[in-house]
């Protein structure tokens, strides 16, 4: 790719390869995301669309896209670790969970204001860096509407995503609720041994402590019973005094 030198291969998903690259123009490290050689042809078009959106959007808690070069999306490098990795060893404190929720709610509210639902809010799509949470991966992002059953990550899907019903901003509130539950308890809302679409069978476990009611509201089965993002932020704010950092900067990850 002209103007970029590959430093390392960071990750391979079922559709994409991610690399650390050096930008000659910017004189800094960047992250480059491109379709795997064996990915379906539609993957390239989806990546270009994601790239155009990230280049146009600008929010401190949303990963920044620099440009799309040929079939590659170039983004900022984030120093830190995924929230999934962060909470694998211990749950967060109440104020840390509240700060996480406030920051992600802000990013989602901004995204919704631009006519998009994220639809894949999960700990693995959040980078924790020096007290800042950054939402990544807009590959699933869609305008509100009806889509195929099961769009997203199975254990973080809102019930209406699992059913293939009409999707609204409430679907992302549910996704954020699963993140807050896992951050507060150290365990996912639905474990791996659950049947397909467990959110259609039973409610997630209830979280003990001062955020229990807030998280339960996010995970209400009926989308209309979930709080709006501004209401959620208002409920979280009293539990987040000060700007306590909940992740220190460390080696870059993807």
pLDDT of residue 47: 95
pLDDT in tens, the chain (254 residues): 889 999 999 999 889 999 999 999 999 999 999 999 999 989 999 999 999 999 999 999 999 999 999 899 999 999 889 999 999 988 999 999 999 999 999 999 999 999 999 999 999 999 998 889 999 999 999 999 999 999 999 999 999 999 999 999 999 999 999 999 999 999 999 987 777 899 999 999 999 999 999 999 999 999 999 999 999 999 999 998 864 444 444 333 33
Read off φ and ψ for residue 157, nearest 5 degrees: -70, 140
pLDDT in tens, 93-140: 999 999 999 999 999 999 999 999 999 999 999 999 888 999 999 999
pTM over 0.75: yes
In angstroms and rounded to an integer, the radius of gyration of the C-alpha atoms of the chain is 18
Per-residue pLDDT of 154-180, as tens digits, reads 999 999 999 999 999 999 999 999 999
Contact 179, 133 (CB under 8 A): no
Q: In 123-195, which ranges are E strands?
A: 126-129, 132-135, 145-146, 166-167
Say what the pLDDT of residue 249 is: 43
List of domains in the chain: 4-76 (3.30.200.20), 81-239 (1.10.510.10)
């Amino acid at each position: 790719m002209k103007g970029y030198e590959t430093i390392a291969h960071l990750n391979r998903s079922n559709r994409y390869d991610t690399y650390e690259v050096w930008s000659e123009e910017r004189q800094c490290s960047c992250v480059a995301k491109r379709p795997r050689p064996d990915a379906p042809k539609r993957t390239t078009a989806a990546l270009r669309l994601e790239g155009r959106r990230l280049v146009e959007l600008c929010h401190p808690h949303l990963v920044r896209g620099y440009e799309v070069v040929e079939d590659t999306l170039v983004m900022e490098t984030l120093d830190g670790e995924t929230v999934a990795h962060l909470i694998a060893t211990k749950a967060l404190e109440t104020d840390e969970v509240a700060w996480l929720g406030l920051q992600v709610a802000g990013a989602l509210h901004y995204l919704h204001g631009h006519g998009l639902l994220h639809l894949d809010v999960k700990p693995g799509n959040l980078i924790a860096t020096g007290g800042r949470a950054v939402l990544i991966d807009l590959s699933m992002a869609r305008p509100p509407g009806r889509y195929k059953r099961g769009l997203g990550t199975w254990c973080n899907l809102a019930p209406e995503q699992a059913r293939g019903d009409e999707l609204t901003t409430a679907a992302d509130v549910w996704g954020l609720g699963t993140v807050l539950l896992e951050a507060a308890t150290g365990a996912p809302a639905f474990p791996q041994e659950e049947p397909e679409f467990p959110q259609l069978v039973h409610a997630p476990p209830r979280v003990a402590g001062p955020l229990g009611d807030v998280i339960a509201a996010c995970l209400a089965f009926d989308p209309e019973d979930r709080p709006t993002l501004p209401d959620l932020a208002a409920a979280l704010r009293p539990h987040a005094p000060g700007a306590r950092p909940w992740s220190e900067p460390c080696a870059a990850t993807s």
